[in-house]
Each structure stands twice: as C-alpha cells, then as structure tokens.
Amino acid sequence: MTTEVGSASEVKKDSSQLGTDATKEKPKEVAENQQNQSSDPEEEKGSQPPPAAESQSSLRRQKREKETSESRGISRFIPPWLKKQKSYTLVVAKDGGDKKEPTQAVVEEQVLDKEEPLPEEQRQAKGDAEEMAQKKQEIKVEVKEEKPSVSKEEKPSVSKVEMQPTELVSKEREEKVKETQEDKLEGGAAKRETKEVQTNELKAEKASQKVTKKTKTVQCKVTLLDGTEYSCDLEKHAKGQVLFDKVCEHLNLLEKDYFGLLFQESPEQKNWLDPAKEIKRQLRNLPWLFTFNVKFYPPDPSQLTEDITRYFLCLQLRQDIASGRLPCSFVTHALLGSYTLQAELGDYDPEEHGSIDLSEFQFAPTQTKELEEKVAELHKTHRGLSPAQADSQFLENAKRLSMYGVDLHHAKDSEGVDIKLGVCANGLLIYKDRLRINRFAWPKILKISYKRSNFYIKVRPAELEQFESTIGFKLPNHRAAKRLWKVCVEHHTFYRLVSPEQPPKAKFLTLGSKFRYSGRTQAQTRQASTLIDRPAPHFERTSSKRVSRSLDGAPIGVMDQSLMKDFPGAAGEISAYGPGLVSIAVVQDGDGRREVRSPTKAPHLQLIEGKELDKAQEDILKHQASISELKRNFMESTPEPRPNEWEKRRITPLSLQTQGRKGDHLFKDILSVKEKYLMPTTRTVEEKAQETDKSSHETLNIVEEKKRAEVGKDERVITEEMNGKEISPGSGPGEIRKVEPVTQKDSTSLSSESSSSSSESEEEDVGEYRPHHRVTEGTIREEQEYEEEVEEEPRPAAKVVEREEAVPEASPVTQAGASVITVETVIQENVGAQKIPGEKSVHEGALKQDMGEEAEEEPQKVNGEVSHVDIDVLPQIICCSEPPVVKTEMVTISDASQRTEISTKEVPIVQTETKTITYESPQIDGGAGGDSGTLLTAQTITSESVSTTTTTHITKTVKGGISETRIEKRIVITGDGDIDHDQALAQAIREAREQHPDMSVTRVVVHKETELAEEGED
C-alpha cells in the first residue's frame, strides 16, 4: 500500500503537470477520444478526492506514464486523455466509441500479456515502484502471500478488476494502433488526427519502455566456488532459476542439480535460493549477493559424469575443509592438500615447487608448518596424476569424511540441551557436540513437520516398540525451523526418491507450506548425466592460493562466513572473473554461437587436462556445435517442469497440478495484482484491530450499462470476484477462490484450526512432510503454504502504516479503521465495432483454467464453473451474493526473516464479517455470448478522499461489431462503526448516474466487511 499511496500522490503531480501540457491538446483529442471527453468533467469531480491506494494497476500505469513524461518531452505527444485518465476518476466512453468491451475480454487479454515473459508495462511499473522504494516492492511481495488471510472476499474482486487495467495498457496500445489503421481505412478525417496522435503516443510509450526496461534490471553478484565473482543483470522479477541457469552456463556446468545458490539472510543463516520463486521475494531487501555452492553432495562423486562437475565439488570441499565445516584429521588434511597441489600444480617439481610458499594455500582451518611439510611430502608421491585424477582421489577421500554432505542446524532437544541436527543423504543425524547421539534414517521417518520454531519428526516404532513416536526439537526461531524442514524435504526427495513427488494434493482447507523439492532427484540427474556426450570441457583450475589472496588474505575458512559481509565492499575490487583466468572453451548455446576463448594466460598455473591438450581447436569447435544441443537436451530431460509446479504450489494454497506455465504466470500476475490491491484493505484491517474498533467493509459494485448490455460478462466477473467464495454455484473462476481456502477454513470445516489459531492470536507455521507411504510417497501435506503467504502480511502492513502517516491522504483511513465500501460502476457502451477477435475465447479459456486451478480446493465446483464460463460467457451471476459471515483472521507471519518475531506476535487477529450484496439490472443478458470481444482499451483511475477511495476502471471492448465501454467503479468507504450503507450505496449510484447520464447501471455489488471483534491479543 505504501507504494500505492506514494505513487498516488506522485501521480497526481504528474497528472497535474501533464495536465498543463496536455490541457492544450485536450480539446482536440478529447473530442477524438470518445470516452474521455464526455466524462471529463465528471471525472474531474471524481478525481478531486485524492487518489486512493486502491488500484495499484493505476499506480503502475501512472508511474509508467510518469516516467514517460519525465523521461522525455515526448510526453507532449501523449494524448492528454491518457494522462488525464489517471488523474481523473471516471472515464466514460460514449457511444461514439467503437468499442465495447466485456470485462472478460479484458481479463483474457491480460492473460495474454502476462503469458508473455512479462508485460513490459507491468514490469516497468513494478520496476518503477521498486525504484521508488524498495520497501514497497517487498511489501507487495509479501502482500501476495497474505491473500489467504485477511478480508479476502473483497480483495479478490478488486484485485481482478484493477489488475486488468495495468496489463491492458499494452494491449490498449496495440489496439489503438489497430484502430488507427482501421480508421484510416474508413477514411474518417477526424479520426485520422486521432490516430496520429495515438500513434505518437504509442511510440513514445514504447520508447519509454525501452528506456525503462534497463532500469528494471538488477545487478546480481555471485561468488563462485573458485572465489571469483560473477555478476550479471537480472530482470527484477526473475526467478531464482534464471540466475542459477546463468551461473551454470557461465561455469559451463551441466550436472548442475547438485548445486544451488545461497544468500545470506543473517550472519548465521544462509538460505537456498528457491529456483521457482522470484528472487526479489526471497531476498526481500537483502542485497543481491549470492554464493554458488554445492547443495547436494554426491555420495559417490565418481559417479559424476564430468570432470568439471567434480572440480566444482572439489572447490566446495576445499572451502568446507578450510572453513572447518568439514572436519578432518591432520593426516586427511595433508592428504587432501596434497591432491589439491597435484591438481593445481601438477607433478611436484623440486625447482619450481620447492620454493612455493604453501602457507598461501589453505589446507586446514588452522595450518601448521608441519601440515605444509606433510602436504609437500605427499605431493611428491602423486607424480603422474592428472588434475582430474587428483580431483578424483581428493573426492574419494573426502567423501568418506563423516561430515561430508551433512548440513548442520543448531537446535535444542526436548530438555533444552544444545544439539545439532545434521541433514544428509541418508537421513537426519543428531549431534551433541561432535558426537553423534542419534540418527534417523529416512526410511524410519514417517513425517517431518515444523510448527513455529519447533521441528518434529515422527518415527516408526522401533523393533520392540508398538507406537510411533514424535520427537521434537527446538530451533532458534521459526525461520530456522522452516529452513531445516525444507532442507529435509529436499534432501529426502533428492536422495531417496526416484522422482520428485507430486505437489501435495490440496486438501480441503489445509494450511501449511506446500513446499516440495521440484528439481531433479539424484536418480534423475544421474540418468540425465548419462546423456551428456560432449567432449570434456576445458576449464582451468584456479589456484586456491590465488583465491585466498583475492580475499585480502582472509583465510578461506573465514571466507565462508565473512564472504557475504565483505561482498558489498569487495565486490568492485574483485573483478568478476579475472579475464586472465578464464581460459575456458565456452560454449554459449543460446544461438548456437560459441566462443572458444583460447586459454589465456592464467597466473601461473594453467591446467588443462592431458586429453584435451591434443585436441585441435577445430575438433573442439565441432563438438561444441552439438554441445548446445546436447546441453539443451540435457536440460530438457528434466522430468518435470519445476518452475510451474513451484509456482503453483507456492501461489495457490490449494494448488492442484496445473497445466502450463502460461497459466502459472498468469496466475501469478493476477495474484500479485490482487495482493497489491489487498494491501490497503489489510492495512485497514490492521488498523482497526489496533484501534480495537469495530469496523465494516462494504463493497458496492455498481454496474452501469449503457445501451445494450452485454454486460453479462462484466458482471459476472465482478460477481465472481466479489462473491466467488461465497457464491459457489455461478461464481466464475476468480482469484477469490484462492482466498477461499482461508475463508472457508475460518468459517467452516477447519473449526479446530481456526479456533485454535484465533485463540492463539498467532498463527503457527506448520509444515508437514511425509517421506514415505502412500503412493507418491508423499502424503505430504503441509499445512500452510498459506501460511507462508500469510506470514508476511504483517510486515507490509506495518510499513504501510508508516507510509500512511507520511502521506496525508492516507491519514484518514488510518485514523478510523472503519468500513470500506466499494462501489463498482460499469458502464458499457455498445458501438458498432469492426473486429471480432477469435483469440479472446482462447485466452479466456486459459484464464479460466488457470483460475480453475487456483480454485483447486473445490475441484468440482471449479471445474463446473470453468466449463460454464467457457461455454457461455454470460453467466448471470447471481445477483445476490449470499451474505456469508466470514471470520477473517490475520494470519501470523512466521517466516519472516528480518522482521522477525514482531510480525509474528503482534499480528492481531481481526474477525470480520463480510457481506456481499449484488444488485444486478435485469437487462444484463447473456447476450454477450461466448465471445468476449476485443479489448480496445482499459484504464484505471484512482482517487482518494478522507474516507473513501474510488477506483475506476474503464475498459473498452469491441465485440461482435459493437463497442462497449464499461466503467467499473469501486468505492471503498472506511469508517468507524456504523456507516449508512444504504445511503452510501444510493450515493454511489446517484453519482454514477450523474456522471454518466448516458450510461446505465447494470450492476451494483455491495460488499460489507465488519470487524466483529478485535482481539487485541498480541
């Protein structure tokens, strides 16, 4: 919300500025632009109230436009109305327009946009927002996850509506262009002008996009295993996988499933970057610094296919050893050190190596002269070993170390004794000091779970015992518990399963993390590795000696911990990878283009494996030609599309397996938007809670229909959004459903949970994972993915609050946590339209499916809905939503990394009552039929006043030769105690009619949310 508020204000300014510029132009354009002009006056009124935090989309847009205006004088070319729109609340298109647009169409198109890598605009907007304040972004992110919790009922609808505009923007442009063309064809003079203007506008925007594009990227720095740094620019919303792939490509690493990227959450904690999640979300406000590390230590490194993979594993182990993480005896230190020398220096040469100062190498955490002598002595015995052989020997010895591949976590046992939990390939090890005091092999573990800061394992009964036992451990904090849990899930999956298990089948109302390891398992990666058929890639073994130097002599051991810290500063100094060091034949597979970098001179040791030496470069090139393909195949051989599943799981609490990525993306986007939107609401709720006042939210959706009402769709959408949860029957697939789980849970079935949680005021994070049994091995049901999402709510909220204070406009809201009334006005205009898009339907389908997926919770219902939607677009969606009473709970935030406990404990539980009432005009017919029409334009305008926030979403669509302009107006009224809803509603309708006399109101939805009781328990 912060973002919104801030942006809103800025937007105003912009708009005002623009307004001046644009004002001149206005006249013409306005005339041309059917929609805007007529509405202008009215809009102005509407606009008076300061833009509210409502629609982020609008914000984005504004931002974008802002950028545009700022960045270039081109802004002048931009049709004023565009700018105005932002500032103006309502834009109503009159008939003159050529468009009519069904909401659905809009939605669909959004989908399309989303499917594309990322809607540029969105990105931009986001990027801008981010730039403006990183925190904001974070908030957004967090917010996303909140969905489930607070007052979801309202939000869903809102979010949907709002998101549309944003994404639509791009489409708008396109369509405008089309229009322009078409107009030309028609030969309308007046229109020409318009066209031109629009065209200009388009150009301008595009240009601006390009410019802004660059700004969207973030620089990532990744410390590689050889101590060098790799940096690259990433799109801000890139997922972890993107970065990881880049790094692996840079490293020329194919067997990459054993590796991962770490980021340092706190001095003590490092987290694995989840490849399936957006990096930004995981980092929150941490710097984009990573270390490339081995994540799963191969129990038998000799089974790795490529030497280069073993080499990286060696590098990791050298770090582990030097840092003390992998304890070794003196002898082993010496032996491993000698293999390191053999690999890096080759055969011992008295003349050359006799003078080498071995103290520059780090063979052990504490290195003695004696050790160095022993290393040198042993080095002499390795004569004849190639670097690869030396590495192999190194690994053969290292793999037997008892702590090889053991990921240690500090904890306390049930008696409060400090212990360590070690996760490894075989199971879970319990250490006290250095002693292993217990061990739970994977087969013995029935379930792994965590709850708050406790970590539990449920163990099979021992031979002579009858009962399963559950053993609990206390982790330092919730995040640590969750982290441990995740690591366990991942290790179990990687080492024990043949293939990753299916995501937890969303059970009804289950809470908990849906986290699953979605990468390849060891079995799979081994199999994939057998397909590797490229010549052994050249790579240079960087001297570990040099590494230690590069860190300013900091011992590698220290490096482990201090690395991250030093990073920021050191980053610049340590050039990514020294140019001289890279003497690798690099195959860039992107275009099939490869570069062979001739082995440049490396410091002093250039180690190229014997076999490769003879190969002529030509040969290498030949091979490389096919390498890219191989590589691709290799990559593609991945059994399951991870990102997709990940997304789903993560996003959808009730996730079901979905189809394609498109859907996912869409999903995600939608959610994000929604979430953003949600923020305000959340804020409100929280505030309320704080104040311990009863408040109510009311949402009024008013749909006006002008001329012909093809509004059916629109309404439907709205309805769905609004009522979706409650109104199961006709409700369209909406994001609402996502919310459903929570809601339902609260209200219904999960009585136990809800009750407990409510009573506790703190929602517990729980994650469960059952390693065995049942088909997929997994009945892993985690409760709380949702929780993950929810967890983060509080923070954003808090921030938001601060923000609000800063922004005068927001203050009112803050003051009185009260009721929110949302009024949506939809005005449709039907005008002769030229285009009949066939695409839409497709999109729609996709969308629906996605939504359906989302709604997994109630699969049947969803399906039914989906089909319903697809087939006939006009679902008359029930005018009256049943007034469900939902107790909404603020869920706890457990996971929060930085915002630790505060969030967790202080999250107030707000119980609210939500009512949704929909008034629908009879006219609404199903006429719209299946096809949604082509979206011409969409805009969202937000205004805000002390107690009300008005968001206006205007969409134009062409459908079946009829253009329709639809205005959806959402008014959120926040106030204490009693608000005269009827009056408010009447007012809203009246205003709508006044503002758009020539349009008709097709639908009014009142959504009321009342806080039942505040439980101030913190």
Partner 1 sequence: MGTPGEGLGRCSHALIRGVPESLASGEGAGAGLPALDLAKAQREHGVLGGKLRQRLGLQLLELPPEESLPLGPLLGDTAVIQGDTALITRPWSPARRPEVDGVRKALQDLGLRIVEIGDQNATLDGTDVLFTGREFFVGLSKWTNHRGAEIVADTFRDFAVSTVPVSGPSHLRGLCGMGGPRTVVAGSSDAAQKAVRAMAVLTDHPYASLTLPDDAAADCLFLRPGLPGVPPFLLHRGGGDLPNSQEALQKLSDVTLVPVSCSELEKAGAGLSSLCLVLSTRPHS
Q: How far is the CB of 629 from partner 1 (least distance, A)?
A: 40
Q: How far is the CB of 422 from partner 1 (least distance, A)?
A: 10
Q: How far is the CB of 457 from partner 1 (least distance, A)?
A: 14
Nearer residue to partner 1 within complex by CB, 181 or 438: 438
String marking each residue 270-309 x if it binds partner 1 according to CB under 8 A? ----------------------------------------
The C-alpha angle 192, 194, 197, rounded to 5 degrees, equals 110
Nearer residue to partner 1 within complex by CB, 418 or 805: 418
Nearer residue to partner 1 within complex by CB, 214 or 400: 400
Q: Biggest alpha carbon distance in the chain?
A: 97
Six-digit token string for 398: 């290292």
> Among residues 379, 307, 760, which one has the least CA distance to residue 538?
307
Q: Site size for partner 1, by CB under 8 A?
A: 22
Nearer residue to partner 1 within complex by CB, 190 or 331: 331
H or E stretch at 1001: strand 1001-1015
Instruction: Please give the Cα distance from 418 to 615 (Å, whole number).
Output: 56
Instruction: Please give the Cα distance from 785 to 516 (Å, whole number).
Output: 11
Beta carbons within 8 Å of 512's beta carbon, 6+ residues apart: 765, 766, 767, 768, 781, 782, 783, 784, 785, 786, 787
Three-class SS of residue 505? coil
Going by the DSSP 8-state scheme, the letter that residue 122 receives in this structure is H
Nearer residue to partner 1 within complex by CB, 76 or 460: 460
H or E stretch at 907: none
Instruction: Please give the Cα distance from 543 to 559 (Å, whole number).
Output: 16
Q: How far is the CB of 520 from partner 1 (least distance, A)?
A: 24
Nearer residue to partner 1 within complex by CB, 403 or 780: 403
Nearer residue to partner 1 within complex by CB, 432 or 622: 432
Start-to-end CA span in the chain (Å): 23
Nearer residue to partner 1 within complex by CB, 19 or 771: 771
From residue 8, give the alpha-carbon distance in Å to each of 84, 807, 841, 951, 1017.
13, 10, 34, 12, 34
> Among residues 436, 1005, 486, which one has the least CA distance to residue 714?
1005
Q: How far is the CB of 515 from partner 1 (least distance, A)?
A: 26
Q: Which parts of 835-877 are beta strand (E)? A: none
Nearer residue to partner 1 within complex by CB, 5 or 364: 364
Stretch that binds partner 1, among 281-289, 430-438, 684-692, 966-974 (CB under 8 A): 430-438
- Cβ atoms within 10 A of the Cβ of 401, count? 18
Q: How far is the CB of 530 from partner 1 (least distance, A)?
A: 26
Q: Which of residues 463-482 bind partner 1 (CB under 8 A)?
A: 463
Q: Which of 351, 415, 433, 618 binds partner 1 (CB under 8 A)?
A: 433
Number of residues that make up the chain = 1018
Q: Which residue has the tokens 């990940």?
A: 646
Nearer residue to partner 1 within complex by CB, 76 or 399: 399
Q: How far is the CB of 848 from partner 1 (least distance, A)?
A: 51
Q: Which of residues 614-673 bind partner 1 (CB under 8 A)?
A: none
Q: Which of 438, 598, 748, 756 binds partner 1 (CB under 8 A)?
A: 438
Q: Check if the beta carbon of residue 506 is closer than 8 Å to that of residue 655.
A: yes
SS (H, E, C) 425-457: CCEEEEEECCEEEEEEEHHHEEEEEEECCEEEE
Nearer residue to partner 1 within complex by CB, 331 or 871: 331
Stretch that binds partner 1, among 156-164, 431-439, 611-619, 747-755 (CB under 8 A): 431-439
Q: Which of residues 445-464 bind partner 1 (CB under 8 A)?
A: 462-463
Q: Which of residues 318-357 bind partner 1 (CB under 8 A)?
A: 327-332, 335
Q: How far is the CB of 676 from partner 1 (least distance, A)?
A: 49
Nearer residue to partner 1 within complex by CB, 332 or 948: 332
Q: How far is the CB of 302 from partner 1 (least distance, A)?
A: 13
Instruction: Please give the Cα distance from 891 to 423 (Å, whole number).
Output: 30
Q: Which residue has the tokens 């938007």?
A: 673
Sign of the torsion formed by the C-alpha atoms of 569, 572, 575 and 576: positive
Q: How far is the CB of 401 from partner 1 (least distance, A)?
A: 6
Q: Which of residues 842-881 bind partner 1 (CB under 8 A)?
A: none
Q: Which of 189, 435, 613, 616 binds partner 1 (CB under 8 A)?
A: 435
Q: Which of 432, 593, 597, 601 binds partner 1 (CB under 8 A)?
A: 432
The tally of CA atoms less than 13 A away on the side-chain side of residue 523 is: 9
Q: Which of residues 40-59 bind partner 1 (CB under 8 A)?
A: none
Q: How far is the CB of 463 from partner 1 (least distance, A)?
A: 7
Q: Note whether 436 binds partner 1 by CB under 8 A.
A: yes
Nearer residue to partner 1 within complex by CB, 436 or 861: 436
String marking each residue 501-520 x if it binds partner 1 according to CB under 8 A? --------------------
Q: Which of residues 667-706 bind partner 1 (CB under 8 A)?
A: none
**Alpha-helix residue ranges (DSSP H) falling in 637-724:** 642-651, 661-691, 712-723
Q: How far is the CB of 425 from partner 1 (least distance, A)?
A: 9
Nearer residue to partner 1 within complex by CB, 314 or 928: 314
Q: How far is the CB of 436 from partner 1 (least distance, A)?
A: 4
Q: Check if the beta carbon of residue 793 is closer than 8 Å to that of residue 143.
A: yes
Q: Check if the beta carbon of residue 452 is closer than 8 Å to that of residue 432.
A: no
Nearer residue to partner 1 within complex by CB, 141 or 335: 335
The helix-helix angle for 2-32 and 189-216 (nearest 10°) equals 160
> Among residues 347, 382, 1008, which one has the least CA distance to residue 723?
1008
Stretch that binds partner 1, among 195-203, 436-444, 469-477, 868-876 (CB under 8 A): 436-444
Stretch that binds partner 1, among 428-436, 482-490, 756-764, 943-951 (CB under 8 A): 428-436
**List of long-range contacts for 431-435, beta carbons under 8 Å, 24+ apart:** 434/327
Q: Which residue has the tokens 């710097």?
A: 287
Q: Check if the beta carbon of residue 825 is closer than 8 Å to that of residue 715.
A: no
Q: How far is the CB of 475 from partner 1 (least distance, A)?
A: 22
Q: How far is the CB of 385 from partner 1 (least distance, A)?
A: 16
Q: Which of residues 384-403 bind partner 1 (CB under 8 A)?
A: 397, 400-402
Nearer residue to partner 1 within complex by CB, 465 or 552: 465
Nearer residue to partner 1 within complex by CB, 327 or 535: 327
Q: How far is the CB of 496 from partner 1 (least distance, A)?
A: 14
> Among residues 179, 116, 117, which one has the least CA distance to residue 936?
179
Q: How far is the CB of 329 from partner 1 (least distance, A)?
A: 5
Stretch that binds partner 1, among 78-86, 437-445, 585-593, 1000-1008 (CB under 8 A): 437-445
From residue 513, give the alpha-carbon distance in Å to each of 65, 211, 433.
39, 39, 31
Q: How far is the CB of 606 from partner 1 (least distance, A)?
A: 30
> Among residues 68, 164, 75, 91, which one has the least CA distance to residue 122?
164
String marking each residue 548-587 x if it binds partner 1 according to CB under 8 A? ----------------------------------------
Instruction: Please give the Cα distance from 612 to 626 (Å, whole number).
Output: 17
Nearer residue to partner 1 within complex by CB, 328 or 896: 328
From residue 636, give the alpha-carbon distance in Å to each of 628, 632, 639, 659.
12, 6, 8, 17
Residues of this chain that bind partner 1 (CB under 8 A): 327-332, 335, 397, 400-402, 426, 432-439, 462-463
